[in-house]
């Protein structure tokens, strides 16, 4: 589905992509998704929260504001993103946040410590997802909640198919291993989480457009900040790469609604509980 007036209206006013130079601004791209995610997370005032794949920390900071007498730990592999996350948290006076550069699949978290684990599009990249979620589960108290936002299949996400198609005719990478669509299949995800010790696994459909910039020119620059598309262009000869850039500009122009460049997308909010009875409040 091509972005249209309905998508533009639902997106209300677009946000500028104003992240750190060189970093793609996922917070602007995912603003509408984030509203669903924040509502599903339902962070309580005393919660101890673990945020997996926290990036530049928007979800971490929002959790910290809600957990006024609790605390939040944000975990990510990217040092530049964590640097920006720490700076933003300091600027906003949030003192109940800790950021750690770590691999959540193997990091030794304090056992049975957290009341809630959240992840906004940061939980699909584990080489061994069962081992990863087993490790994460050990960090959660019995009955603690897990709330994930993950992409549905590539064929349900126009941003993934249309942009890639404008740059290359090569087939898309398989979705069976680590990657943005590794948790797209509810049956597969349910099996992973169940084997890792979670129960009451549920899925809620999220259908919102993603935002790439206020106009096609800005969107072009933003898209080429993404490693996948940088790598695609880097593998082409000069003439072919320029043709690909021309097609990309046309694709982005076709999705310019007049109030921003939007692509259709579908995601799941996945919820589950750590096995065992909840602790008394």
How far does CA 130 lie from the centroid of its chain?
A: 19
Token digits for 220? 């072009």
> Which pLDDT value is given to residue 172?
79
CA-derived radius of gyration, the chain: 19
Around 12, how many Cα atoms within 13 Å sit in the side-chain half-sphere?
5
> Which pLDDT value is given to residue 4?
34
Task: State the average pLDDT for the chain.
Answer: 89
pTM: 0.87
Q: Which fold has domain 5-274?
A: Rossmann fold (3.40.50)
Q: What angle do CA 218, 221, 226 make, to 5 degrees?
A: 130
Residue that wins the pLDDT comparison between 65 and 175? 65
Where are any strands of DSSP class E within 14-87? 48-52, 71-76
Around 67, how many Cα atoms within 13 Å sit in the side-chain half-sphere?
28
**pLDDT single digits (tens) 177-227:** 789 999 999 999 999 999 999 999 999 999 999 999 999 999 999 998 888
Q: Residue 276 in contact with residue 207, Cβ under 8 Å? A: no
């Amino acid at each position: 589905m091509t972005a249209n007036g309905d998508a533009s209206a639902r997106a209300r006013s677009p946000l500028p992509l104003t992240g750190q130079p060189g970093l793609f601004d996922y917070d602007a791209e995912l603003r509408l998704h984030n509203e669903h995610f924040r509502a599903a997370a339902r962070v309580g005032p005393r919660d101890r929260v673990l945020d997996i794949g926290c990036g530049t920390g928007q979800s971490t900071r929002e959790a910290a504001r809600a957990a006024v007498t609790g605390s939040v730990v944000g975990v990510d592999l990217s040092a530049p993103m964590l640097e920006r996350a720490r700076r933003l948290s300091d600027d906003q006076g949030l003192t109940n946040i800790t950021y750690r550069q770590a691999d959540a699949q193997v990091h030794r978290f304090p056992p049975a410590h957290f009341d809630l684990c959240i992840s906004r599009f940061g939980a699909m990249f584990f080489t061994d997802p069962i081992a990863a979620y087993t490790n994460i589960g050990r960090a959660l108290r019995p009955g603690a909640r897990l709330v994930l936002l993950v992409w549905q299949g590539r064929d349900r996400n126009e941003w993934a198919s249309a942009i890639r198609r404008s740059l290359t005719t090569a087939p898309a990478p398989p979705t069976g291993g680590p990657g943005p669509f590794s948790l797209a299949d509810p049956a597969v995800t349910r099996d992973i989480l169940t084997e890792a010790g979670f129960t009451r696994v549920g899925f809620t459909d999220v259908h919102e457009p993603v935002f790439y910039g206020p106009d096609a020119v800005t969107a072009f620059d933003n898209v080429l900040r993404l490693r996948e598309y940088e790598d695609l262009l880097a593998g082409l000869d000069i003439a072919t790469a320029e043709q690909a850039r021309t097609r990309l500009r046309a694709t982005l122009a076709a999705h310019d609604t007049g109030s921003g460049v939007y692509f259709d997308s579908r995601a799941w909010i996945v919820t589950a509980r750590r096995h065992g009875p909840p602790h008394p409040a």
